[in-house]
Amino acid sequence: MSLDLALAGWVSGLIEMARIDAKRHPVADPSGGPLKLLFVGYNGARNTGSDVRVEEAVRQFRHLFPQLRATVVTQNPSLTDGYFRGADQVHAPDVFPQFLYRQVRQHDGVVACEGSMFKSTFANALSAMMFEGLGVAAAQRKLSIAYGAEAGKMDWVLQAMCRRYCADSLVIARTLDSQHIVESYGVTNVKLGTDTAWTFEPHAPDVGTRELKQAGWRDGDRLLIVCPTNPFWWPVKASLMKTAAWAIAGAYSRGHYRTIYFHRSDAPVWAAYDRYLTAIARAVDRFRRNKRIFVALVAMEALDTDACERLSDALGGVPIFSSRNHDMFRLVSVLRCADAILSSRYHAIVTSMPALVPSAGIAMDERIRGLMGDRGHEHLLADCTDPQLEEKVFAMLDTLVRDRDGLRAEIAQATITHLRRMSRMGEDLVDYVRARHPGIAAPATRSWEDYLPPLGPRLRDLVEVAVPS
């Protein structure tokens, strides 16, 4: 039996135990006191996208429910220090089921914040963690909210857990396709929303400009930022056999993620990875010839640093900005200085769009594909396995520069569309919470913008220009 399957069984047992316990000891209504919510996501690994998502979810919840007491689960508090202002943080162990069960009991509800929640692409253990939070909360008749969730292909064990333990949750899906997939598993309260990162406010532009100039960027040079990853070594799986071999003999070191978790590390993974990086390097090198273009690389997750180092070597030593040593506020400030972005990371595109940075995507799954479809920019999309990747990347880079003004206008409209969807998420959230806790006051709202967390100057200007009052 695989360790992932054992972990799913452990989680399922705890949820069943919560159901039995809830019948014996009904949970008291928190009316009259602060609403205590536990935010469960993939935080503390310096994954910029995951951290930005939860940052903005907490801000939106605190804006809509001023008496909220938020607690965020983190895998490493030292790497989330200064994040999630106003929220407490609690350290989760890698083997999480018992820890999470105790935490849910201490709160009035759970907000599952991981984007890739209903899918097996990255780690079944991570999805099982989300399902445990949702399932235990629902069993105890507490608030059970999946916020901004994406759905895709799930292994049979996750499908079974979703049907049994998420049926009574509110799921706000990130895309229409995700909504339909979750509904197909018998979850009835599913709404359409978006990602929560759209309202993120990084450090001021001069912070990113200063970082880039220290790395060699000169006035008059166009700035191209590339955000690579390793699309091929997922999913991460738990394995006692590999853990023992790694501890005793150093085996599987190349694919070791941490503790009992390992990436795929067979020969085809590394061959595909090399082809992907080689295609990007050749396309970027061709594109920058005879042009005043400064290339910088951004590792949106600490794990992406290897991809950036390999690509930097292939391009003659271009600078790297890594989330390993740049927090999310600084890293997104760097992204927003770009004249163009080429990314395999979904949130590099999302967090740069409020600054109207033209971007193209190299997709490994449905996330970037869906985002480019929403923008009407399918011509700025390539697949990481495409045998013609070099030529497609070269053509996309040329389009980003040639059609810059038109792309910026279309990105502005797409950003407004997603802000409106996020506002609607806030409305659905208020309705759900107040239906279960009518003593919680409704927020004062005069327009759709009032359901969003406070917007920074750039987004306020964008909203006022695009949607005049």
Q: Do 3-198 and 205-402 show the same overall fold?
A: yes
Query: Please, which residues bridge with residue 350 across strands?
Result: none
Amino acid at 455: L
By the 8 A CB rule, do 450 and 424 touch? no
By the 8 A CB rule, do 117 and 127 touch? yes
pLDDT in tens, 228-267: 999 999 999 999 899 999 999 988 999 999 899 999 999 9
Copy the structure tokens of residue 253: 């070191």
Q: How confident is the model at residue 321 (pLDDT cuts 50, 70, 90)?
A: very high
Q: Counting Cβ atoms within 10 Å, is residue 98 exposed (0-12), middle (13-18) or buried (19+)?
A: exposed
Q: What span, in angstroms and rounded, lies between the C-alpha atoms of 425 and 417?
A: 13
3-state secondary structure of 381: strand
Q: Give me the CATH code for the 3-198 domain, please.
A: 3.40.50.11720
By the 8 A CB rule, do 328 and 202 touch? yes
The H or E element that residue 162 is part of is helix 156-165
> φ and ψ at 185, to 5 degrees?
-95, 15
Which range (122-126, 333-337, 401-405) has the least confidence? 122-126
Which pLDDT score, from 0 to 100, does residue 467 have? 56
Name the H helices within 41-121.
48-64, 97-105
By the 8 A CB rule, do 53 and 115 touch? yes
Which pLDDT score, from 0 to 100, does residue 25 have? 73
Copy the structure tokens of residue 441: 């006051």
> In the chain, what are the helix, strand and coil shares in percent, each to the nearest 5?
50, 15, 35
Q: What is the pTM of this model?
A: 0.94
Domain ranges of the chain: 3-198, 205-402
For the domain made up of 205-402, the CATH class stated in words is: alpha beta
Q: What span, in angstroms and rounded, lies between the C-alpha atoms of 113 and 58?
A: 10
pLDDT in tens, 185-235: 999 999 999 999 999 999 999 999 999 999 999 999 999 999 999 999 999
Which pLDDT score, from 0 to 100, does residue 29 have? 62
pLDDT in tens, 24-75: 876 666 556 789 999 999 999 999 999 999 999 999 999 999 999 999 999 9
Average pLDDT over residues 421-438: 95
